[in-house]
Structures are given as structure tokens and as C-alpha cells.
Structure 1
Amino acid sequence: MALLFRSSVDSEARWKPHLARLMPELEVRIWPEIGDPAEIDYALVWRPEPGLLASLPNLKLILSLGAGVDHILIDPHLPGGVPIVRLVDPYMTDAMSEYVILQVLRLHRQDLDYRARQESGIWLELDQKNAAERGVGILGFGELGQDAGRKLKGLGFDVALWGRRPKTVEGLRGYAGTTDFSALLGRSEILVCLLPLTPETEGILNASTFAMLPKGAALINAARGAHLVDEDLLAALASSRLSAAVLDVFHDEPLPAGHPFWRHPRIIVTPHIAAATHPPTAAPIILDNIRRFEAGRPLLNQVDPAQGY
């Protein structure tokens, strides 16, 4: 039983000890030294090269190294009929919620404004809303959105979530579909994007979306860079339609040195660190799905390629 490990951003040295300890019978092969491709049963990947998975004739299961699978589904040569599972790790969920809470609080407490005044030596108290008066909208009603929503609500914020299809979750206000999209935006002084990247959600953070937010709203994007139309964000900030943005993901990563986001006074840039995969907690979850497949049991977090998640 052999597994191919291929990640464009992560080191196999972080993963191999955990995989070997928990499933010693699993032979882990590191791309490009994969040996006979016909011997590969499983592929654990992040941004694999187009055609790589199709070159494995006996591939049984594709496992994503992260919560998203757009990096797999984008492959035009993706082999049909091979199940794909995404990684849902409570550690990553907690990490994402920490990031969202940190950035919501920074925006809520006007951190950028106070920092600008500090640089100019200006002592000036700004009017401050209570958390209960601050509408926070979360795009994405999956595990990440629900966890962040619950924790923000626990801090007193007025939280609502939006997803493509109706969903009822105890304690959380939900919106769904095209009709409710504008309603969610209209109440969101801080908008958080945690959506999966699909053809329907690509470019969803655009001028039309920003126009439906309250004037002076702020944006947090911790999902995918392709959700955002960069030029529309810059225009919205220039016109004061938006007051600030926090961005953890970008069309090109690393973000090019000359990109205007780097030096924009109303944009906070972080290098895709909101919820990094953590091998000690993720490896058991990944191997559980391999054991499930071997035993003919239902897989956890299997992806519907037609839906994109």
C-alpha cells in the first residue's frame, strides 16, 4: 500500500514521521521520486501539477492537504471516478476562528486609525460602538464559518452567516441564496469571506457586492484570493465605500513585491497563515479516511466535484 505525497508549499519532513508512526504499513513516496506509478494507491496533495494524478493508473483516493479542494479540481486532467476528500481538522478550525476574531476585533476597535494617529503623534479618542451594535456577516456556512460565527457571537457581536443553500444551525442566524445575499450584505459592517472557491463564488468580492455593504464597511478575506477582484477593492477604498480590508489570500502567492496591497494604508496583509495545516493533528484524520476506504466504510468529508466542495 503506497501513498504519494506532493505539496507545492509544505515539506514532507513535517509529515512523514507522523504518517509512518500511525500507519507503518503505508509506504510514503515523495514526488518526484515515486517509483512505479502503478503502485500508488493514495495521493496526499496540495496544488499538484496538472496531469500528475491522471498519471497514477491505480489511484484509489485523493486526499487534500487542506480544507479547500479547488487546487485539485482545477486540474483539467483530473481522473474521473476517483473519490476526493478534504481535510477537516478541529485544530485548523480553531486557528481560523482565532484569525477571524483577531481581525474583527482590530477593525471593530479601529486599530488602523489609532496606528495612523500614533505615527503622527496625535492623541485623539474615537467614538466606539459596542460589539452588539456591530453587524458581522460571514460568507460561508460550513465548519469554519459556523465556528467563527459562534465564537464572535460569544463576544457579543451581531453575527449572521450566508451560504448558497438554506441551512439551520442552532444559535446562528442564517441567510441563503441570491435573494438573501443582499440582505446579509446590508447588515454587515464587517464582512468575512470563508467560502469555498467554486465557479459560482469566484470574484464574489466585487464592486457590486461592496455597493450593497453599509458605507465604510470593512472586509476580511481568509478564503481564496480568487474570490476578490483586486481592482474593485482598491477603488472601493479610494472612494471610502470601504474603510479597510484584511487579506490573507491572494491571486498570486507570494504576493508580488510591487503589488499595491503591500503599502496601502487601509489594507492589512498576512501571508496565508490564517489556518495552516498542522501535521500532528491532521495526520490521524487523513489516515482514518484511508482505513475507511480499505474497510469499505463511508469516507469523511467526501467532495462533490459538481458542487466544488
Structure 2
Amino acid sequence: MTVNVLFAGRDAQWPIYEPTLRTAFANAGVVADLRMEFAPGEVDYIVYAPSGKLSDLTPYTRCKAVLGLWAGVEQIITNPTLTQPYTRMVDQGLTEGMVEWVAGHVLRYHLDMDMDICRTDREWQVHIPPLARNRTVGVLGLGELGSVCAQALAGLNFNVQGWSRSAKSIAGVACHFGEVGLRDVLAQAEILVLLLPKTAATENVLNADTVALLPKGSRILNPGRGPLIDDEALLTALGTGQVGHATLDVFREEPLPRNHPYWAHPNVTVTPHIASETRPDTASEVIAENIRRSEAGEPLLHLVDKARGY
């Protein structure tokens, strides 16, 4: 039986994803008619990118599931026309990319690489950082991405303190939860990594009060979601030295406006939302597997809980 799959992304994404999706469908044994246009009542599945044109899902009455290409869900999950099951993108390529970005920047901070390689005074000054076992890294968010990043950092011998809204158990990681747990992690985190989803409960999790709990001079990495940080509070903390440096990959408004203070701040590194890009080949495999599972009556992978928002 042929299933009709609508690709609801940007026009520029179509020539990139069409061949990888067709290959993935063939490998998964899914017979699919894949197009960018269908009559809404003919669509069985929607491959969805928030950057595309589709916003009203009401006419897609036959659609069995909407399959997201992004890890983030905040731009779709509150859409009142989304009545179909929604799956977010969790794939090995995306996960590996995030681990590499986080590990690279944690090591950059841990080894003070900016100081070592950016000297212009030609002075020979030896700087010996502590060993990783003597450096505490806090990871806020222990979902799919947070947990693997925390494990990777633990594998590098860092003292990793993780926090999530509910109790978790991860080998090699000291796991905390709840309000008391958050305060405990922040009080220890010399380097803090933010990998929480954006929900009403996590917005501004890093604010004036919580930033004040960090050890003075702590460094911050945010590859998660821009609204996790109260920007004014962070700028103030950078000005006082409470926060030594911040590397930010995500922002409330993207692209980051040209007049934003982050651009010119000497203790802020801006990266253009590259911490973990969706890889078309591996993402297509996840999409194909989920359609195969749905057609076989098996549960969907990475199904989003609309009530929780992730």
C-alpha cells in the first residue's frame, strides 16, 4: 500500500531532503508518494519544518502523524490546529553534533584556550589548568541531548552535576531534580550547559536570582533555547564578573539583531545556531522508521507530550 507523504518545509529544503527521504523509505520498506503538494484530504503523513509555509493543519483530516525535522517543538506544539500526534526529531547525527559542540566548548573553557591562543603581547606565560576531575560542569536538562552530553563530559573525567525537572539516573552523572536540586547544581557549576526545552516552566531559568548562585566567574554555554536566559540578567552578571564568559548559540530572536549588546560584548561568543543541525540523511532515516512503525501498528518514536510541551 502506498502512503502519501507531504513535505512541508521550505522550497530550498526540498532538493536536499527529497533524495534522502526516498532512499530512507526504500531502505525501510515504505512505499511512499512523496510530494510538496497534495490535496489536504489525501495526506497520510506530514514531514514538517517550522520554517516552512504550513501553519493550519485543520484540513489534514486523514493525516496519521506530523513528523518534525527539528528537535525543538515550541513553534508547533501550541498550534491549536495540531490535532495529530507530533514527533520531534531525535537522530544520531543531531545528537553527535550536539555532543561535539558542547564537549568542544567545555574544553575550550576548561583549558582557557582563548587566553592561551589570543595573546598579543608576546609574553611567555605558562598557564596550567586543573585536571578535568577537579572541574565541575553543570548540565541543565537531561533529556535525549542533555543526557548524552552529560555522559560524554563524564567520560572526559569532568565532575558532572545534572539537573532535570523530574528524577533521572545516568551512569557517571550526579543527577538532581526539583528546586533544591537546581540550586545545588548552580552552586557548583564552574561551567554551565543549558539543554532544557523551552516551556513556560523553563523560560528565564537563568535569571538574576539563579545567576547569583553560580560560583563567581562561571562560564555559560547555551545551545538549548534562547528564552532559557534572561538577557538583561546575564549582561548584568557579565558586567560584574559574576559570569566570566558566555557562549551563546540560540537567542530569543534569530538571526540575532545587529544592534544587540551580545555582538559587541568582550565576554560573549556568538555562534549562529549551529550547535546541532539536523542532518538530512540521518533525519530521513528517523522519519522513514516512524512511518514504517505507524503503518505496522507500532508506537511512534519521540512522540511529544502536548500537555508537558516536550
**TM-score strictly above 0.5:** yes
Structure 1 residue 60 and structure 2 residue 64: aligned? yes
State the alpha-carbon separation in 2 of the partners of residues 228 and 167 from structure 1.
23
The one-letter code of the counterpart of 2:38 is G
Indicate conservation of the 8 Å contact 2:8/2:54, yes or no: no
Indicate conservation of the 8 Å contact 2:202/2:228, yes or no: yes
User: In the TM superposition, what are the counterparts of 1:7-86 in structure 2 within 5 Å?
Assistant: 7=9, 11-23=13-25, 25-30=31-36, 34-47=37-50, 48=52, 51-75=55-79, 77-80=80-83, 82-86=84-88
Which residue of structure 1 lines up, in the alignment, with residue 162 of structure 2? Answer: 161
Which residue of structure 2 lines up, in the alignment, with residue 244 of structure 1? Answer: 245
Give the secondary-structure state (helix, strand or coil) at the position aligned to 2:212: helix
Which residue of structure 2 lines up, in the alignment, with residue 110 of structure 1? Answer: 112
State the alpha-carbon separation in 2 of the partners of residues 50 and 240 from structure 1.
45
State the alpha-carbon separation in 2 of the partners of residues 21 and 8 from structure 1.
20
Q: Deviations over 1:176-220 (max 9, x none)?
A: 111211001111010000111111111212212211111110100
Give the secondary-structure state (helix, strand or coil) at the position aligned to 2:58: helix
The one-letter code of the counterpart of 1:51 is S
Indicate conservation of the 8 Å contact 1:5/1:29, yes or no: yes
State the alpha-carbon separation in 2 of the partners of residues 43 and 57 from structure 1.
12
Q: Given the superposition, is the C-alpha separation of residues 166 and 189 from structure 1 closer, same or farther in structure 2, using an over 3 Å criterion?
A: same
- Between 201-210 and 118-127, report the one with greater CA deviation: 118-127
Q: Given the superposition, is the C-alpha separation of residues 92 and 51 from structure 1 closer, same or farther in structure 2, using an over 3 Å criterion?
A: closer
Q: Deviations over 1:55-105 (max 9, x none)?
A: 423221011102221121132x3333x111112112211111110010001
Give the secondary-structure state (helix, strand or coil) at the position aligned to 1:70: coil
State the alpha-carbon separation in 2 of the partners of residues 237 and 157 from structure 1.
24
Q: Given the superposition, is the C-alpha separation of residues 9 and 124 from structure 1 closer, same or farther in structure 2, using an over 3 Å criterion?
A: farther
Which residue of structure 2 lines up, in the alignment, with residue 147 of structure 1? Answer: 148
Which residue of structure 2 lines up, in the alignment, with residue 199 of structure 1? Answer: 200
Indicate conservation of the 8 Å contact 1:215/1:242, yes or no: yes
Indicate conservation of the 8 Å contact 1:195/1:201, yes or no: yes
Give the C-alpha shift of residue 115 in structure 1: 4.8
Give the C-alpha shift of residue 27 in structure 1: 2.0
The one-letter code of the counterpart of 2:85 is P
Q: Given the superposition, is the C-alpha separation of residues 258 and 212 from structure 1 closer, same or farther in structure 2, using an over 3 Å criterion?
A: same
Q: Deviations over 1:32-67 (max 9, x none)?
A: xx2311112211112155733234232210111022
> In angstroms, what is the RMSD of aligned CA positions?
1.9
Q: Given the superposition, is the C-alpha separation of residues 51 and 95 from structure 1 closer, same or farther in structure 2, using an over 3 Å criterion?
A: closer
**Of 84, 89, 103, which aligns to 1:87?**
89
Q: Given the superposition, is the C-alpha separation of residues 266 and 115 from structure 1 closer, same or farther in structure 2, using an over 3 Å criterion?
A: farther
- Between 184-193 and 149-158, report the one with greater CA deviation: 149-158
State the alpha-carbon separation in 2 of the partners of residues 167 and 26 from structure 1.
39
Q: Deviations over 1:87-126 (max 9, x none)?
A: 211221111111001000111111233355x245454334
TM-score scaled by structure 2?
A: 0.92
The one-letter code of the counterpart of 1:138 is V
State the alpha-carbon separation in 1 of the partners of residues 12 and 255 from structure 2.
14
State the alpha-carbon separation in 2 of the partners of residues 8 and 233 from structure 1.
34
Give the C-alpha shift of residue 305 in structure 1: 0.7
Q: Given the superposition, is the C-alpha separation of residues 98 and 128 from structure 1 closer, same or farther in structure 2, using an over 3 Å criterion?
A: same
Which residue of structure 2 lines up, in the alignment, with residue 101 of structure 1? Answer: 103
Indicate conservation of the 8 Å contact 1:46/1:72, yes or no: no
Give the secondary-structure state (helix, strand or coil) at the position aligned to 2:44: strand
Give the C-alpha shift of residue 154 in structure 1: 1.6
Q: Percent of pairs identical after alignment?
A: 39
Which stretches in structure 1 are left out of the alignment for 5+ residues? none
Q: Given the superposition, is the C-alpha separation of residues 60 and 251 from structure 1 closer, same or farther in structure 2, using an over 3 Å criterion?
A: same
